[in-house]
Amino acid sequence: MRDYYEILGVSKDASEDDIKKAFRRLAHQYHPDKLGGDEKKFKEVNEAYQVLSNKEKRAQYDQFGRTFSGAEGGQYGPFGFGQQGFGGFDFSDIFSGGGFAGEDLGDIFGNIFGGGMRTGGRRKRGMDIQADISITLKEAYEGVKKKVSFKTFVTCETCKGIGHEKSAGTTTCDVCKGNGKIRQQRNTFMGSFVQIRECDKCGGKGQIPKKICHVCKGAGRIKGDRTVDMDIKAGVQSGQIIKITGMGEAGLEGNSTGDLYVRVMVQKHPDFDVAGDDLVTEKDVQFSDILLGKEFAITHVDGRSITFTIPAHHNIRHDIVIPKEGMGKKGSMIIKLNVKTPKKMSSKAKKLAEDLRDELGE
């Protein structure tokens, strides 16, 4: 197994933010539903992120090496016990090479405890989906309703997600005898181990369908298109991620659907920048306009005209601040003044400037 840091392409002293950014980029690149996606690499990236994004699990990984990933089951500390069996170290890394009556402990624990405890080797819950959406600054300021469309596994409408024809009925599983679980015992040099786990044949249901759905072939889901309506609130920040529960990939055989994570990207505006909740812009003014108290106007991102006058004795190196005109009505509009001076001055203009200087006592 490759090093988790190597998989994400980050250094071992990478910050949480660096790890998150690397995961988002690689997950977007390798997602199986995207053109050119790679399911194997996507799973590697997800497994690495699940460990390195958690402080405790990352510390355990740095100290002891790879632990079982929570993507397919529980995560545990070194030599810890979880509800699904024996977790912690990858025993094949520690004890591989034989000895102990010629057995590899990695094989022993893998056989006894299922090597991560997947059900029938398949992940039943639907995967989470990541998507990006682009909106204008005006839409971010006011809030907007958008539709997000993508390809993924969707519930099979023919069987309503159960994977078989309900009217045909079921028969009792001949492996688990209807219990949905099987008991396995194995004798090793370390003693006798007993495991009770989900039946592979019936998937823990205890029943076998008599007639599998001819459309989804028993999976309960098929490849399709999903369109999700989302409500983006006013004041959303560029790069903010919105979680929509239950709108990701459909689960196998009617199991729970994954979640949808939408990253909102706000397009660059020609006149305004965003700094936190503040809208920042610039305004060209003449020195004479400042002295005469001229009223200025700026067109807001929503189309309104915002007027202001530079107050008396204002230090022109300071910005003009208009409260409650920022993002989501929380921040302010920050106006940076660019004081323009004439490139050339006529003799009359120079004389007037000198007279003004004398009048003001400068």
User: Distance of CA 246 to CAs 295, 306, 341, Å?
Assistant: 53, 43, 60
**What is the spatial distance between Cα 31 and Cα 104, in angstroms, rounded to a whole number?**
34
Strand partners, 46: none
**Of the candidates 126, 4, 125, 124, which has an alpha carbon nearest to the alpha carbon of residue 59?**
4
Q: What are phi and psi of 24, to 5 degrees?
A: -60, -45
User: 65 with 93: CB under 8 angstroms?
Assistant: yes
- Binding-site residue set: 156, 159, 173, 176, 199, 202, 213, 216
- Taking residue 77's Cβ as centre, other Cβ atoms within 10 Å add up to 16
**What is the spatial distance between Cα 8 and Cα 252, in angstroms, rounded to a whole number?**
28
Strand partners, 273: 280
Strand partners, 12: none
Q: What are phi and psi of 237, to 5 degrees?
A: -95, 145
**What is the spatial distance between Cα 222 and Cα 295, in angstroms, rounded to a whole number?**
63
**Of the candidates 27, 234, 222, which has an alpha carbon nearest to the alpha carbon of residue 131?**
27
User: Distance of CA 289 to CAs 148, 293, 294, 296, 312, Å?
Assistant: 49, 6, 5, 9, 12
User: 61 with 49: CB under 8 angstroms?
Assistant: no
**What is the spatial distance between Cα 14 and Cα 23, in angstroms, rounded to a whole number?**
12
Q: Are strands 333-340 and 278-286 parallel, antiparallel or unpaired?
A: parallel
- Binding-site residue set for Zn(2+): 156, 159, 173, 176, 199, 202, 213, 216
